[in-house]
Structure 1
Amino acid sequence: MESKVVERSLSDDTSRFQSLFRIPVDVSRFSARGTYSFTGRVVFGLGGLALTLAFDDGVRWVARLRMPPIGSSDAFENSNESIEAMETCEYNTISLVRQKTSIPIPEVHSIEARWDCDVKAPFMLMDCLPGNVGIMDLGMKVPPGFKPKFLRRLAQMHVQLATVQLPMIGTILSRNEDGTYRQGPIPGLGGPFNTATEFFKAWAAKTTFGMTDEHLRTASGQYADDIIPSVSSFPKSIGDLAPKLSARDHGPFPLCHGDFGHNNIIVDDEYRVLGLIDWEASFSAPWEIFADFPLTLSMVPPAIDVPWNYNEQGDPVTDELKQQLADQKTYVAAVKEAEDSKGTGNLLSEALNDCKRQQLATAMRLYQRGKVGWYSKLTDEFA
């Protein structure tokens, strides 16, 4: 399988990254392996990059740096504090998941969350997991022969995450001396929240559609008069329905990865899962948000999708949609099997099978990303 990464030579940015060579101070503090060198391989992701460090004994680490946007702005300067908090929360999350589960996650050897450090960018030094990752390529298809095994492994990881629960909805700010965790706000929403109702009300008050009004009108075409009010009314509808949206309003709440898809799953050439990376968007969430299908399996809820994709009975008419629906059913069965095997209860499979709530959670994610659709149809069905 071809690795889906974007690379360019380190020499392209030599002057920009001269300060990276100050990292050895931190490496020597956490490793006795001796000297190392950069491999010259730079992988660019959303808001950052990763450089591979090769030690003389063959061990490899990754230096993952968060980079400033091209052309800094006042808004960026003012976001430094929140970005530092995000780095710290991610480290705390990784530590908790490594402690509570067997999900393969790179061990973090060093972290610097401040922009004013020697490297001039927040960074983490962590183990390098061998394998392929579908960076920014959620359309990557898993060959049919490997799909059952791949979906079973995703389901097993999802079930393990369901056992990592926290008393409130929010991020993980720090670990207390007694082993509990101090929780903090979710970027863009606030919190932490004591109930799912509070979370959904905050989402309704603070979330905007991920597309400008002008682009929405253009993208809606001849359906603009129906779609635009349907989109604009969606947050208010979520706020009005907030007390009804969760089947479990009170905690504890499961830890949600926040970006659970191909782009953050490392696999080998036979699609065996080797690791789950990039936990920066993670937070403990309502069960309905946690039970959103992996992005690999996500599909637009029928109620908000274009009507010609379904027949009068509500069944999909295209082969692609039929396969997506079949894959989702396979995934739910794999989740149930993993739950029964571990004796964890069936809260995740029950949430996945609760179609109205599950599809509403998917719609909330799509709304933030600017997916055009008839959102009011979904809330009308729920009401």
Structure 2
Amino acid sequence: MKAPFMLMDCLRGNVGMDLSMTVPPQYKKAFLRGLAKIHVQLSTVLLPKIGTIVSVNADGSYHQGPIPGLGGPFDTATEFFQAWANKTKFGMTDEQLREACGSYAAEIIPSVSSFAKSIGELADTLSVRDDGPFPLCHGDFGHNNIIVDDQYHILSVIDWEMAFAGPWEIFGDFPLTLSIIPPAIDAPWNYNEDGSPKSADLVEQFADQKWYIGAVELEENRNRGNTHYLSEALENPKRQQLATAMRLYQDGKIGTYSKLIDKFMAQA
């Protein structure tokens, strides 16, 4: 009797989901350094188009296919952002959004509703590298998909089913471990009038992001053949935060997305 099957190896270790998604302070820098090394390694896996990898051709090149829900493959970042704007939906129904917003509905709902359209209108300005080659994005890169030992040394990255070659700005989103809601769409009471974060946890998160960029730059410098495209994307806040916002939008994160668009346009 014929039946589908899968062969799997056992890799002994811990996944972030098993560790309450936290990294003890004494292991944090070593863990982030390991993340940076993997992130930079992925930046060297370059494909001519934006899309998934379907198969390997006889000459060793890759046959690329569409990104689920978006289409493609795309020749340019502009095409990708236009497709995202046309096909991506907010991760909540209108009814769920209205109920979740409560008394803030009049401000938040129009802000959310206009975001995808704004991405489409700005599509040809969102990437500093519109043409390929494009780096391989994991699709869910964070310690929820990373196996570590008891000292948080990285053993493996798992769950590659969402991987695709994407624009450098999408690739340059911080690992989920370090992700911060962009201040422009976050609750205003989380920040002081001068824009500085109020909570010690948020201050630490921003410091960790800065440290991570430095770790990426060091890793890029180890090999002369490496570009600095990843670190440049990470340290470009207006584009990096927009990439984060696109991911949060798909996840249904409530926020004032139009304020981020306004900020992007003001800095253009």
Given the two structures, how large is their TM-score scaled by the length of structure 1? 0.67
1:124 and 2:6 equivalent?
yes
Identity of aligned residues (%): 67
What is the CA–CA distance in structure 2 between the aligned matches of 1:176 and 1:248, rounded to whole Å?
Answer: 26
Q: Cα distance 1:166–1:136, how it changes in 2: closer, same or farther (>3 A)?
A: farther
Residue 332 of structure 1, aligned match among 213, 233, 237: 213
Write 1 or 2 for the structure with the bigger share of helix. 2
Structure-2 separation of matches of 1:136 and 1:193: 37
Mapping of 1:2-21 within 5 angstroms? none
**Is the counterpart of residue 294 in structure 1 residue 179 in structure 2?**
no
Give the structure with the larger strand fraction. 1
Per the TM alignment, residue 366 of structure 1 is displaced from its structure 2 partner at its CA by 0.2
Match of 1:191 in 2: 72
Task: Indicate whether 1:371 and 2:253 are aligned.
Answer: yes
Letter in 2 for 1:364: M
2:33 pairs with one of 152, 160, 181 = 152
How far off its partner does 1:342 sit?
1.9
**What code does the residue aligned with 1:361 have?**
A
Amino acid at match of 1:354: N
Larger radius of gyration: 1
Determine the structure 2 residue equivalent to 1:174.
55
The range that moved more, 359-368 or 308-317, is 308-317
Contact conserved, 2:88 with 2:116, CA < 8 A, in 1? yes
Distance (whole Å) between structure 2 residues aligned to residue 203 and residue 305 of structure 1: 22
CA contact (8 A) 2:21 2:144 kept: no
- In the aligned structure 1, how far is the partner of 2:61 from the partner of 2:161? 20
Q: Is the 8 A contact 2:16 2:22 kept in 1?
A: no
Structure 1 outlier segments of 4+, above 2 Å? 134-137
What secondary structure, in the 3-state scheme, does the structure 2 residue paired with 1:126 have? coil
Higher relative contact order, structure no. (Cα contacts within 8 Å, ≥ 6 residues apart): 2
What is the alpha-carbon distance in structure 1 between the residues aligned to residue 242 and residue 254 of structure 2? Answer: 15
Q: Report Cα offsets for 1:230-284 as digits up to 9, x if no partner.
A: 0000000000000000010000000000011122100011111010011000000
Establish whether residue 205 from structure 1 lines up as the match of residue 92 from structure 2. no
User: Which stretches in structure 1 are left out of the alignment for 5+ residues?
Assistant: 1-21, 23-116
State which of 1, 11, 15 in structure 2 corresponds to 1:133: 15
How far off is 1:312 after superposition? 1.2
SS in 1 for 2:63: strand
Instruction: Give RMSD over aligned pairs.
Output: 1.3
Question: Aligned partner of 1:379: which letter?
Answer: I
Q: Take 2:17 and 2:51, find their aligned partners in 1: how far apart are those partners? A: 26
How far is the alpha carbon of 1:136 from its aligned partner?
8.1
Question: 1:200 & 1:347 partners in 2: Cα distance?
Answer: 19
